[in-house]
Amino acid sequence: MSTGDGQDRRSLSIKQLLLTMSAGVMILAVVVILSLSGLVEKKAIRDLARDEGRQIAQLVFQSLYSAMRKGWTKDEIAEIIDRLNTSYPDMKIRVFRAPAVIAQYGEIPGEKAQRDADPALLSALTEGNEQLITGHDEIRYLYPLSVKEECQQCHETPLGGINGVVDITYPVTKLKVSLGFVINSVVLYFLVVLALLFFIIYFALRSLVVHPIQTLTTLMQEIIHHKNLEKRVTHRRSWVRELRHLGTYFNNLLSTIQDYQAKLEEFSIRDPLTGLYNRRKFEEFLRYEVHRAERHKYEFALIMLDLDNFKHINDTFGHPIGDLALKELSHVLIEATRKTDILCRLGGDEFAVLLPVTNRVQGLEVAEKLRRNLNNAVLNLPVGDTRFQASFGLVSFPIDGDNFEDLVIAMDVAMYKAKKAGKNRVETLDKDSTDASMDVFTQGQFLRRALDEDRVLPYFQPIIDMKTGKPYAFEVLARIIEEDGSIMIAADFIEAAVELGLAPDIDQRVFEKGLRILSETPNCKAKLFFNLSSRSMGNLEHMRGIPARIRAAGLDPSHIVLEITEREALPQMTQFMGVIEELHAQGISFALDDFGSGFSSFIYLKYLDIDVVKIEGSFVRHIVTDERDRIMVDHINSMSKKFGLKTVAEFVEDEMTGAMLKDMGIDYAQGFHYGIPKDKPVL
């Protein structure tokens, strides 16, 4: 048996405590009322018996006195006393003469023996003391007859002396208690009991309940004030089981919060799939290394690698196999780098390596080593042994860039150069290789002109309610009008926009225009789904200003849903949770996009407060022909419903897929089957 079980058996629940206290108070009340009733009885007997005995004694005396005034004999007195006893059958009335009367008129036979055997009677006769003797069943009252002036006509006893004693005995049951005394006694009893009850309950609850709760609240205040999750409720003995359990559960809650905090801190700097540093932490290291290299005047190198044809693995075997491949790949890279090198996963199948205090030549050797190791590595996957190749781009500080922004662009350009040169190779930036960089800068100029000339537009793709078949919402997609009037889709420019830092400008333009068009569309109550880039998401000032911009457009924030993807959420997991909470409070909803594209999606489902799950389109597209995809979609939908979330199926391209999704219970769907993106919402 555990110690906790033993303590539970020795302690009380709150219910048991209240029952115990109630029983204790009841017992106390019974004891008090019995004690009080005994006191009432004794006092009533004494007071009423004395009054009633005095009245009867005076009545007897008056009867005797009336006879004595007429002249009397001993037989007449005895007859009067007999008549009184007959009139009061429950009483016994006797009259005894004092020594002075006996000396004057002589002894009555039998009285002397009775007097000598009764000390109380002798005391009343000789000293004139009124006597009240109470027994269990009867009361005896001795009333001395004091000599008055008129008594001296027949008696020689001086004034104030004692001529005799009237002895009255009667049963207790004949007494009647005063109504006022009873009422006052009952009121007093209840006041006493109420006072006792109050103090008992007050001090008991204060000691057993209030004090432990005050201790717990004080600890909570200290934790909030000092932000110290190491504190714990001390396990002091408590008679109340629930309060002791409350302390235990609170300690367990603190431990759970500590565990979650540690995991969130880990997620804020680590990629949950591979365990490598994420993009946010890599950028932090890179900025620090630029500052340190400038100060100490040394070179360092950067390597960026992108797996060749990795999309084929995902499309052929599915994203779970792709995730396993990325994990195996990360182990190969770790074994081929130094402990001082900083390795990270930028996102998707892109990785980067920061080589501190490494010149271009040394960096090139490391990049070639990584490429060879990757080519020679055999990855053991459930679908069989697999080999990978990658395109590597190498740049160095300060030759290819002397600041953070230039180095990031140069790293991307060098990697693209390797892709265009045939893949599975290492490329650097030099005077003879400017084509790749020119492509990037040309795209940058195109995007800047499109922004300056206001050629960035929002297009609206309907998201259909599966129950009604009508638009529930519209996803707002970025489009650019080219100089010849044709429309460029986001896939053709968004990557360059992200790399050149222009994605936030495009986001803002699409967001503002989308809001305006929705506000100008009559009778449109549909929601708008917006995709925001990682830089837009990371700009807290921009994010917190979104509700104000929505209201300025004449809309309510509840009309807006912001879509989160792994690349946007992961680098700033901790701060992003706070942003979601703030915007949620103002009515904005959040959707987790591309759910199921990697195992890390489930981590976001656990830690991020989202409202909608958008199921990865690669699963949805083939559910009619591929049972595995159908199982994945069905399970994602079932799990989301258990979390209380709505589901959206993407890439619905035919009627059979739509019908199957509806049978599964999917809430909403979007794709070319329901409508292509258009420049206005079509209801």
Q: What is the mean pLDDT of residues 319-327?
A: 84
Q: What is the CA radius of gyration of the chain?
A: 52
Q: What is the mean pLDDT of residues 491-499?
A: 82
pLDDT at 586: 93
Q: In the beta sheet, which residues pair with residue 293?
A: none
Residue 212: which H helix or E strand, with range?
Answer: helix 211-226
Residue 7: which H helix or E strand, with range?
Answer: helix 3-10
Q: What is the mean pLDDT of residues 547-561?
A: 93
Number of helical H runs and strand E runs in the chain:
26, 20
Confidence of residue 18 (pLDDT cuts 50, 70, 90): low
pLDDT at 667 over 90: yes
- How far is residue 253 from each of residues 233, 245, 382, 526, 581, measured CA to CA in Å? 11, 12, 39, 41, 21
Share of the chain above pLDDT 90, in %: 32
Q: Which two tokens stand for residue 138?
A: 């009867």
pLDDT at 569 over 60: no
pLDDT at 232 over 50: yes
Q: Are 353 and 333 in contact (CB under 8 A)?
A: yes
Q: Which two tokens stand for residue 71?
A: 């002249």
- How far is residue 437 from each of residues 363, 486, 565, measured CA to CA in Å? 20, 26, 28
pLDDT at 119: 86
Strand pairing of 589-595 and 612-615? parallel
Q: What is the mean pLDDT of residues 477-500?
A: 87
Topology, domain 270-433 = Alpha-Beta Plaits (3.30.70)
Q: What is the mean pLDDT of residues 224-244?
A: 70
pLDDT at 45: 62
pLDDT at 13 over 70: no
DSSP string, 320-362: HHHHHHHHHHHHHHHHHS-TTSEEEEEETTEEEEEETT--HHH
pLDDT at 459 over 90: yes
Round the average pLDDT of the chain to a whole number and report it. 81
290 against 184, higher pLDDT: 290
288 against 575, higher pLDDT: 288
578 against 367, higher pLDDT: 367
Q: Are 658 and 669 in contact (CB under 8 A)?
A: yes
Burial of 520 (0-12, 13-18, 19+ CB in 10 A): exposed
Q: Which two tokens stand for residue 455?
A: 């050629």
Q: Which two tokens stand for residue 354?
A: 């920061």
Residue 130 identity (one-letter amino acid): E
CA distance 335 to 239: 59
Q: Which two tokens stand for residue 44?
A: 């009533």
Q: Are 391 and 305 in contact (CB under 8 A)?
A: yes
- Dump pLDDT digits (tens) for 382-423: 777 888 899 999 999 999 888 988 888 888 888 888 888 889
Strand pairing of 384-386 and 390-397? unpaired
pLDDT at 437 over 60: no
Delimit the domains of the chain by residue range.
33-174, 179-268, 270-433, 447-669
With the C-alpha atoms ordered 477, 481, 486, 488, is the resulting torsion angle positive or negative?
negative
Tell me if the bond preceding 272 is cis, omega within 30° of 0.
no
pLDDT at 8 over 80: no
Q: Which of 265-269, 341-345, 389-393 has the lowest mean pLDDT?
A: 265-269
pLDDT at 180 over 60: no
Q: Which residue intervals of 528-654 are DSSP H helices?
A: 534-538, 540-544, 546-552, 566-569, 573-585, 600-607, 617-620, 627-642
pLDDT at 441: 61
Q: Which of 80-84, 252-256, 459-463, 645-649 has the lowest mean pLDDT?
A: 80-84
Burial of 525 (0-12, 13-18, 19+ CB in 10 A): exposed
pLDDT at 121: 81
Q: Please, what CATH class does the domain formed by 33-174 belong to?
A: alpha beta
Strand pairing of 560-564 and 527-531? parallel
pLDDT at 14 over 60: no
Q: What would you measure as the largest C-alpha separation in the chain, in angstroms?
A: 165
Q: What is the mean pLDDT of residues 528-547?
A: 86
CA distance 164 to 61: 10
pLDDT at 571: 54
pLDDT at 659: 95
- Dump pLDDT digits (tens) for 105-125: 777 777 888 888 888 888 888
CA distance 532 to 506: 9
Give the three-class secondary structure for 169.
strand
Confidence of residue 36 (pLDDT cuts 50, 70, 90): low
pLDDT at 590 over 80: yes
Residue 170 makes CB contacts below 8 A (sequence gap 6+) with 52, 53, 88, 90, 91, 92, 138, 139
CA distance 479 to 173: 109
Q: What is the mean pLDDT of residues 227-252?
A: 71
pLDDT at 179: 44
Burial of 359 (0-12, 13-18, 19+ CB in 10 A): middle
C-alpha 462: how far from chain center = 38
Q: Please, what CATH class does the domain formed by 447-669 belong to?
A: alpha beta
- How far is residue 472 from each of residues 120, 524, 529, 646, measured CA to CA in Å? 108, 10, 11, 12
